[in-house]
Each structure stands twice: as structure tokens, then as C-alpha cells.
Amino acid sequence: GNSVTQMEGPVTLSEEAFLTINCTYTATGYPSLFWYVQYPGEGLQLLLKATKADDKGSNKGFEATYRKETTSFHLEKGSVQVSDSAVYFCASTGGFKTIFGAGTRLFVKA
């Protein structure tokens, strides 16, 4: 069946450090891929998405590229801020089903 695997957290970085959160997926067909962010005490918000191979999603300085050959959708940001501290979920949608990764908690220290 379909699955999403993302790197375990927590990830702790200093402000302005480079961020990578790995995400790989298994799927039949070609799913759409997403990153969601959950700030403390809130629901999930869509951060970025990509709907086909080689698409790059970007938002608020975050980027992720849909890599079909490696079945990956790694999240990157060149310079993190304290306000980026949150839990990040990678997700794959095929048909009307969305599969979420386990989530990666990011702490950014000032």
C-alpha cells in the first residue's frame, strides 16, 4: 500500500541554519505531494505542494522538489527562524486518500 516516511525528530537548529527534512513515499501511480506545518496548539496548514515529477513547491522560503526517480520530496530552507519552530508533515495524495508521515518536530534556537 501507499506510505510516507519522513525523518524522525526532533530536529534542533540555531537561527539562520540550513534545514533539510527528508521525506520518501511509496505509491501506485503518481500521487500529489505536500508539506503541512502544525504550529503549537493549532491545526495543520498547507505549506507547499507539487503535483507531478520535477515540480518544485515553494512558500515562505521553504522548498521541496518532487523526485520521481528517488521517490522523494525533501523539505529545505536556507535560513530558519525561531518562528519556524513547528511540526512538519509530509503527505501523499492519490485519488481521495491522503497518507501522512509521522511528522518531524523542529526547534529553532535564537
Partner 1 sequence: SAVISQKPSRDICQRGTSLTIQCQVDSQVTMMFWYRQQPGQSLTLIATANQGSEATYESGFVIDKFPISRPNLTFSTLTVSNMSPEDSSIYLCSVEDRGQGAGYTFGSGTRLTVV
CB of 15 to partner 1, least distance (A): 25
Check residue 14 for interaction with partner 1 (CB under 8 A): no
Looking at the Cβ atoms of 1 and 110, the one nearer to partner 1 is: 1
Residue 84 three-state SS: helix
β-pairing, 104-109 with 11-14?
Answer: parallel
Tell me: does residue 69 bind partner 1 (CB under 8 A).
no
CB-neighbour burial class of residue 20 (10 A; exposed 0-12, middle 13-18, buried 19+):
exposed
d(CA 109, CA 52): 35
Nearer to partner 1, 18 or 39 (CB): 39
Provide the grid cell at 49. 505542494
Selected range binding partner 1 among 13-21, 33-41, 59-67, 76-84, rule: CB under 8 A: 33-41
- Grid cell, residue 42, equals 493549532
> One symbol per residue from 38 to 67: x for binding partner 1 (CB under 8 A), - otherwise; what is it?
---xxxxxx--x-x----------------
The rounded distance, in Å, linking the Cα atoms of 79 and 103 is: 20
The residues of the shown chain that bind partner 1, judged by CB under 8 A, are 32, 34, 36, 41-46, 49, 51, 89, 93, 96-98, 100-103
